[in-house]
Structure 1
Amino acid sequence: MIARKPWKSAALISLFLASFGVKADLVVLQYHHISESTPPSTSTSSSLFNAQLDMVTELGLEVVDLHKATKDIFSDKPSTDQRIAITFDDAYESVYSTAAGILQERDLPYTIFVDTAAIGKHGYMTWAQLRELATRDGVSIANHTAGHGHLARKPDETESDWKKRITHSLDTAQAELKRRLGTDLPVFAYPYGEFDEALEAAVAERGWYGFGQQSGAIGPLTGTTRLPRFPMANAYGQLNGLKDKLNSKAFPIDTNKLPDGIVRANPPTLTLPLVDDIKPTRLTCFASGMGRIDFNVSGDSIAIKAPKPFNSRRFRYNCTHPAKEGGFYWLSQQWLDLSKPED
């Protein structure tokens, strides 16, 4: 079973990081469609996709298998090389018709997170196509639920109803992937990147790694049920900012200690511990739709809060800080306002 790491003091975290010497992390790229004719918010053009992969090659970064690389990060002797993993959510048809050929020609591994209830519907792959891809070297197929529902517990939902709903969604999909494709990988992607503490616990109980949609790199202190990925759609994956993302480092704090993101006050406050590698004068934070925002330093912590409430269901605080070995520490906290309508 994948257990969540215990909370650590700032001093212990500093010692922990120092033991790894030069820090190199795993950066996971998240895609949906590879197409010029699908919804812009979740699409990456084939030309941009190729250019992104070209930059990965030019930077000398190794593209690795998601599950194996994630296990390695949390091992006693993680790799000291900065590495990249490629993922696709939902199993859209364009991944089969466009992305798969590009990646096969480049001999790059990737993972497809599958909504099993959507397979065979318009715009999605068929089971035959998934079965074919699953036989190719470097291709992994993993769980993205049956039905792509919003899995965090709804405000008016009983605990028993919630448990029944998420148990069906998670376990039906895992069983169908095993039955149809023979795959039983312990990696899972949250629909919409939404999760709460109870859902994280359900993922951990199954021994799975849980991947969100908040940006950032994965390091030894990253929570195993709240693993970040960089969205790579046209709006977020442009080349002018891609190098910093590919070379980013996990923020040097235990992210299990951060909130699960459920909004209880709007705007919410994110409190980060002050550790040796973080200097407030070099920290920069942004809020969705608001640009750069201020923060307050008090004692051994930093309090980050947007200047006004948000109107959306999901939004983020993103913070970066120069890393001592080059590049940037990168942290994204996704917030989820359950009072807002579902997509």
Structure 2
Amino acid sequence: MSTDQPAPLEPTLSPYDAILLYSFGGPNKPEDVVPFLRNVTVGKGIPDSRLEEVGEHYYGFGGKSPINEQNLALKAALETELDRRGITTPIVWGNRNWEPYTTDALDQLAELGAKRAVMLVTSAYGSYSGCRQYREDMALVQRERVDIDADGNLTPQGIEFDKVRPYFNHPGFVDATYHAVTEAILELEGSSTSEQPRTHLAFVTHSVPDAMEQGSALHHPASYSEQHLALAEELISRIAAQTGRELDWSLSYCSRSGPPHQPWLEPDINDHLEELADQGVTDVVIAPIGFISDHMEVAYDLDTEALATCEKLELNAVRADTVGTRPQFVAGLVDLLLERAVIARGEHVEPAATTQVPALHHTCPANCCLQRAGQSTGIPTVAGQ
């Protein structure tokens, strides 16, 4: 495990001439919802009637996912931080499943004259859906983009991309998450009506199929769930060190979307809240450490469904913020971009990591987080993985 305070990196992103902020995407209006879900589930043969059912989550919010505005806010925050450090490398935003699509981002990068760009994905964890699928989709789009010369020869238009490593254990993400969680604990305890409250810290992330969990361990020192557990243990340790308190805690999951016969990571947050109430827990902080912003999984699955479960169970509950555009997180992302640039220049850098799990690799092996043949990921409502 490397130090929490690495030496400052040289403020240059050379050899990169652009940054791609690469996200999942989401609908902007009601008529976008089903076409967006078609994109998400392409090749799975899911009828529009089923997509309309899933789309109810979006229709309840006016047919608009919060993720696009949140990505624009993150892009602006990154530009401000880059400017503060004297770095002028431009940032382009693109999505896998909605406008601006990957190809739109590539058009914009081409207009900028970019030849080699660094890719920053809006998912903090190493897994198929959080890392490899972005690389696969980019490769697919790149293969379809060619120039035809006067003789009819095809020449790839491709821009070379290097991806920033998963950052669940980078100091910037850990620090921002710690502050969000401790603020929620203070808010919860200020609102508790129990004479002897039993406070529980319920960490939550997006569920994935068990097969994807197993694949995430390929070439990683920790699987998808173990990465979350490592962050949770680090946060609990910090809270104990700062306050002298050792809180009860757990990791549960939300947003399961696969067929009933397919095993996914459990327990579901709503089932888990019922278990906690049965155990005598009175006060709960719901901490969505698996998400970097308050997109649909947070807005619906937690703020709507999970908090309604808490109300039914008479649990005093507060939902912690995601890291969003907190300064520690944004500064940490720029540090990660600089770290990746050092590696691209062939220079040595000690990757910064703040959990018992070391920093994951920047350059993914060929079969890292490999998707198993025939593995279905269901109909994700995911908006930021």
The TM-score with structure 1 as length reference comes to 0.30
Provide the TM-score with structure 2 as the length reference.
0.28
Structure with the higher strand share, 1 or 2: 1
Q: Which protein has the larger Cα radius of gyration, Structure 1 or Structure 2?
A: 2
Larger helix percent: 2
